[in-house]
Amino acid sequence: MSNPENKSSPLSHIDAAGKANMVDVSDKADTQRVAVAMARVRMQPETLQAITDNTAAKGDVLAVARVAGIQAAKRCSDLIPLCHPLKLSKVGIDFSVAGEGALVVRAEVKVNGQTGVEMEALTAASIAALTIYDMCKAMDRAMVIEETCVLSKAGGKSGDWERPAS
C-alpha cells in the first residue's frame, strides 16, 4: 500500500512514495562486515545419532548441509529480491549438538563491502537446516526447524550488535 505522505520512512527499503526499493549504498564506504546466524533443528535422538555417526542412508548429512549453506549465502540476492549481490570473502557453517535431540547450525559470513551480510548468514543457516531435513526426512518426518535468528553483526554505520542471552 502506497503512503506518499511518508517522506522519511524508518524502513530503508521503503521510498518516499511508500514503495519497496533496493537501498542505494553507492555513497557508503567499503568496510569489513561480519554476521553470524543460527537455526536449530529438533529431531528424534536416533536421527541425531545417525547424523553424528554418519550412518544416514543418504550419506554425510553435515557435509552436504555445509555445502548447501555456503551455496545459499552466495545466492542470497537471487532468492531475496531487495538484497544486493555481494562478493563474499568467507562463509563458514558449523554444527553443534544441543541436547538430546537438537542440532544447531551456525553460519558466519564476511564481506568487505558497502552493506551488511545478515541476510546471507540467515539464508545460509536456513538452507543448511532445510538440507538436514531433506536428507533425514525418511527416518524422521517430525523434525522441526526453529529459532532461526541473527546472533551478531559487526561493522558498518550502525556498528556492532550481539543478541542478548536469553
Active site residues: 134
Question: What is each CA distance from 152 to 28, 126, 135, 165, in whole angstroms?
Answer: 21, 16, 28, 11
Strand 161-162 and strand 144-154: pairing? antiparallel
Phi, psi of 22 (to 5 degrees): -80, 130
Nearest to 111 by CA among 69, 66, 155: 155
CA-CA-CA-CA torsion sign (157, 114, 87, 135): positive
Nearest to 101 by CA among 53, 60, 44: 44
**Cβ–Cβ under 8 Å, residues 134 and 140:** no
**Cβ–Cβ under 8 Å, residues 104 and 45:** no
